[in-house]
Amino acid sequence: MTVLVRVRLAVLERTIASGQVPTAGEIAADLDLPIAMVQEAYAKLGEAHVFVCDPDDPSRLRMASPFSAVPTAFRVSARGGSYYGNCVWDALGIVSLLGGEGSVETSCPDCSKALSLRVTGGKLAESGSVVHFSVPARRWWDDIVFT
């Protein structure tokens, strides 16, 4: 298994276990690798649009898709854990990744009405909600944090 794959899997495993996206130092300790090697892996995975690195700190991630390292408007509860998604798409992806049972708490960006999305048996329960992506998919990575 390559270092990139090992680092990616370790980040996902630690995030799932703790609810927090780990630092390069934590992953370096977990994998017994030099921190510089993990930071390089973070950068390469960022270039591949797998992770989004913190622009001010190469030892931190902003996003470890589908997980957010910072609080967002997309709070996920699944498999006994609590996580943040980067967007509703990622939030539902977290529920799927963790077995297809869970919920996403968010709010309507237009009227601020609280929204609760439930997933049971891998299927989204009817909520009457509509998802709108204001940025075309082909432009998401122009500024993925804004998107």
pLDDT digits (tens, 9 = 90+) for 41-90: 999 999 999 999 999 999 999 999 999 999 999 999 999 999 999 999 99
Give yes or no: residues 98 and 131 share one domain.
yes
pLDDT at site 116: 95
Instruction: Tell whether 137 is covered by a domain.
Output: yes
Structural domain harbouring 56: 3-65
Which among 106, 96, 105, 102 is positioned nearest to 80, based on CA atoms? 102
Give yes or no: residues 17 and 50 share one domain.
yes
Instruction: Tell whether 70 is covered by a domain.
Output: no
pLDDT band of residue 110 (cuts 50, 70, 90) is confident
Return the SS3 of 139: helix
Last-in-domain residue among 65, 93, 111: 65
Last-in-domain residue among 11, 31, 65: 65
Instruction: Count Cβ atoms within 10 A of the Cβ of residue 7 and give its class: 0-12 exposed, 13-18 middle, 19 or more buried.
Output: buried
Instruction: Tell whether 52 is covered by a domain.
Output: yes
